[in-house]
Amino acid sequence: MRYMLSLLFMLGTTVQADMLSALKAYEEKNYIEAQLQFAELLPLANEQAIFNLGVMAYQGEGQEKDLTKALAYFMLAAELKYEQASTLLVTLSAKASEQQLEQVTQQFEQLKRNLVITATDLDKRRDASLPQPIKRVPPEYPISAAKNGLFGYVKMRFLVNEAGLVTAIDTLDTFPENTFEKSAVKAVKKWRYEPSGQQHLMEVRLDYSLGRGVKVSAVEKIALGNKLWDYAVLGAPQHQLALGTLLSLVEIQSGNSFWYDPELPLVAQADFSSFESLATLKPAFDGFWGSALVRVAKDGTITEQIDATFEAKSELTSLVGLTLKGKVETDVYRIVRNSDVVGSRSINVTPYLRLSRSMSGMFWWEQAAKNGNIDAQRIMAAYDKQWEDYLLSKDDAEVMAWTGTRLILEGQRAQGMQLLEQAVAKNYEPATELKKQLM
């Protein structure tokens, strides 16, 4: 019986190893190439690639049949929550001898040591000590984009010098490509920050939309029209990257707060209606400083304090029994008023929705990264040090430049400058400006 699923190939062959090109090599019975490309994805904790390596070992494709090796791969894929691997592991383990099972455990431990990416930490709090902007120049809406009704965003990272001037700048993530980048970079270069006597690495995201913001229905139309969800589920990295970008766009634009619960099953189809902004409520009380998740009755009464952090200046120590005013459209709300956020004068109350991880843009960016997409890997490197370290091991010029900059600012000048010089040698243009500013 053959266990590996086929894939509808709608993209061209890529130079770098990714899931799509690996599966294409497999379907063309180029087993040696397929095995090499699946193996390249193993350090990224790509559970499907690991499962596929197990299938090839079990079926003897491009190699001698090896039950022990196959079981070791299935054991690792099962630990990474690949459901089909768990099923096969139980079935095929019955065929192995006691000695083989001991070898399986040893090989499993060896494979596990090869993993570079483990669980990612994407919920890091922003550094409140960074200088605040004192002048922001709004970006101009490109005429061609306005005529065509285009909307999107640009996320950038840049260096702010001791005087608060923006120096080197580069785009980290953008949608759609080659549309708003020039406008965004031009605007941010004119921004001014509080002089701090130090240099700082900063990030900012500029959203572009006509009217009252991005329409969720318009984003859904793009996703459905390009079958992004269908191909992303099939494992196409470029479509996973694009889907992640669209989901990130509507999440940021939404007035709701979200919790992507890893315990919820992955959904079969995207439900973009979750991002339609629900009515916000207003507190019928004052004196609260901190953040809290609360359960609310239909009449607006807070019945449960699910989680709460009270700042020292808060006059309240419990929210239970207090009232929120407005139309209650869900049962859980987030209440926030932080003293370390500039301009936080009032208590902010937003609907809090529990969704599957597969409705998160970050989930699909991570899938694309694990499937070998370099753009997704660079996005992930900006959020998680494991991905940063992985791309440094691959001598990625973009990551070397910005990691080098961070190291210099943290006092590790020799190591940081070495990375910057390597990025310059690879002709990554922002690295030259970064080095000039940090000399």
Coil, strand or helix at 193: strand
CA distance 117 to 177: 28
Residue pair 272/265 in contact by the 8 Å Cβ criterion = no
Task: Tell me the mean pLDDT in the region 89-99.
Answer: 92
Angle (CA) 371 154 341, round 5°: 105
Looking at residue 211, its pLDDT comes to 67
Cis peptide before 139 (omega within 30 of 0): no
- Give the other-Cβ count within 10 Å of 28's Cβ: 10
* Per-residue pLDDT tens over the stretch 265-288: 888 888 899 999 999 899 999 999
Going from the N-terminus, what domains does the chain have, and what CATH number goes with each?
Answer: 19-113 (1.25.40), 133-208 (3.30.2420.10), 282-353 (no CATH), 395-438 (no CATH)
* Per-residue pLDDT tens over the stretch 383-403: 888 999 999 999 999 999 999
* Per-residue pLDDT tens over the stretch 11-32: 333 335 688 889 999 999 999 9
* Per-residue pLDDT tens over the stretch 350-374: 999 999 999 999 999 999 999 999 9
Checking if the pLDDT of 1 tops 50, the result is: no
Looking at residue 255, its pLDDT comes to 86
CA distance 148 to 41: 39
Q: How confident is the model at residue 127 (pLDDT cuts 50, 70, 90)?
A: low
Nearest by Cα to 112 from 86, 82, 77, 88: 77
Checking if the pLDDT of 92 tops 80, the result is: yes
Reading the block at residue 118, the tokens are 């483990």
Radius of gyration of the chain (CA): 25
* Per-residue pLDDT tens over the stretch 194-223: 888 889 888 888 888 776 667 888 889 889
> 181-188 long-range CB contacts below 8 Å, 24 or more apart?
181/154, 182/142, 183/139, 183/140, 183/141, 183/142, 183/154, 183/208, 184/139, 184/154, 184/156, 185/154, 185/156, 186/139, 186/140, 187/137, 187/138, 187/139, 187/140, 188/137, 188/139, 188/156, 188/158
Looking at residue 125, its pLDDT comes to 45
Looking at residue 5, its pLDDT comes to 37
Reading the block at residue 339, the tokens are 């003293």
Read off the pTM.
Answer: 0.81
Residue pair 258/353 in contact by the 8 Å Cβ criterion = yes
Looking at residue 415, its pLDDT comes to 95
Q: How confident is the model at residue 347 (pLDDT cuts 50, 70, 90)?
A: very high
Residue pair 327/279 in contact by the 8 Å Cβ criterion = yes
Burial 370-403 (b: 16+ CB within 10 A, else e): bbbbbbbbbbbbbbbebbbebbbeeebbbbbbbb
Coil, strand or helix at 223: helix
* Per-residue pLDDT tens over the stretch 406-416: 999 988 999 99
CA distance 128 to 156: 18
Coil, strand or helix at 239: helix
Q: How many Å separate Cα 252 from the centre of its chain?
A: 13
Residue pair 241/364 in contact by the 8 Å Cβ criterion = yes
Q: Running DSSP on this structure, what letter comes out for residue 170?
A: E
Q: Running DSSP on this structure, what letter comes out for residue 165?
A: B
Q: Running DSSP on this structure, what letter comes out for residue 42?
A: G
Looking at residue 15, its pLDDT comes to 39
Of 207 and 307, the one with more pLDDT:
307
Reading the block at residue 24, the tokens are 């294409």
Q: How many Å separate Cα 295 from the centre of its chain?
A: 28
Checking if the pLDDT of 6 tops 60, the result is: no
Checking if the pLDDT of 7 tops 50, the result is: no
Task: Tell me the mean pLDDT in the region 157-172.
Answer: 91
Q: Running DSSP on this structure, what letter comes out for residue 275?
A: G
**Which residue in the block uniquely carries the two structure tokens 């609310």?**
296
